[in-house]
């Protein structure tokens, strides 16, 4: 018996909208990564993009457990000597709440060109509004 590998034209891409209000960051990110990757579909293929688009709203209302709000840091480097930048979770939540979810999901996707392609299908918005109504996204309930 041969393994079925879907062709690019046979893959149906759906749009989902996820409300992040009151959800735990890590559990939400792992569910989103599964949908982006396409692991919820019966014809999942590890080397292909068979996943769906995900629109996340209310990113500013996501929460973390324990003392992570004060102790969690996001690291980046400017590329110059001494250019290390550390930003605390609560500062990042105040300035760029969409980057928190994007950063968490990026770490759960493959670290190659496929992962970069999958990350482009994630749309994160701080508030309850998003400009993707024309795609008719279905609401997706993630239990965390």
Residue 98 pLDDT > 80:
yes
Q: What is the pTM of this model?
A: 0.93
> What CATH number should be reported for the domain holding residue 57?
3.90.1180.10
Domain extent, residue 32, equals 14-64+97-139
Residue 24 placed within a domain: yes
Residue 144 pLDDT > 80:
no
- Quick check: 97 and 60 in contact, CB under 8 A? yes
Beta strands in 27-143 (DSSP E): 53-57, 73-77, 84-88, 122-124, 138-139
Residue 96 pLDDT > 90:
yes
């Amino acid at each position: 018996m041969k393994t079925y590998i879907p062709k690019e034209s046979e893959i149906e891409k759906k749009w989902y909208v996820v409300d992040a209000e009151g959800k735990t960051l890590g559990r939400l990110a792992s569910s989103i990564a599964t949908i982006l990757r396409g692991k919820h579909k019966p014809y999942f293929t590890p080397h292909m993009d068979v996943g769906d688009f995900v629109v996340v709203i209310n990113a500013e209302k996501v929460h973390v457990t324990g003392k992570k709000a004060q102790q969690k840091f996001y690291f980046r480097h400017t590329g110059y000597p001494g250019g290390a930048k550390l930003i605390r979770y609560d500062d990042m939540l105040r300035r760029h709440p969409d980057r928190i979810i994007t950063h968490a999901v990026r770490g759960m996707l493959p670290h190659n060109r496929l992962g970069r392609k999958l990350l482009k299908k994630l749309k994160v918005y701080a508030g309850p509004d998003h400009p993707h109504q024309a795609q008719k996204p279905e609401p997706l309930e993630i239990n965390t």
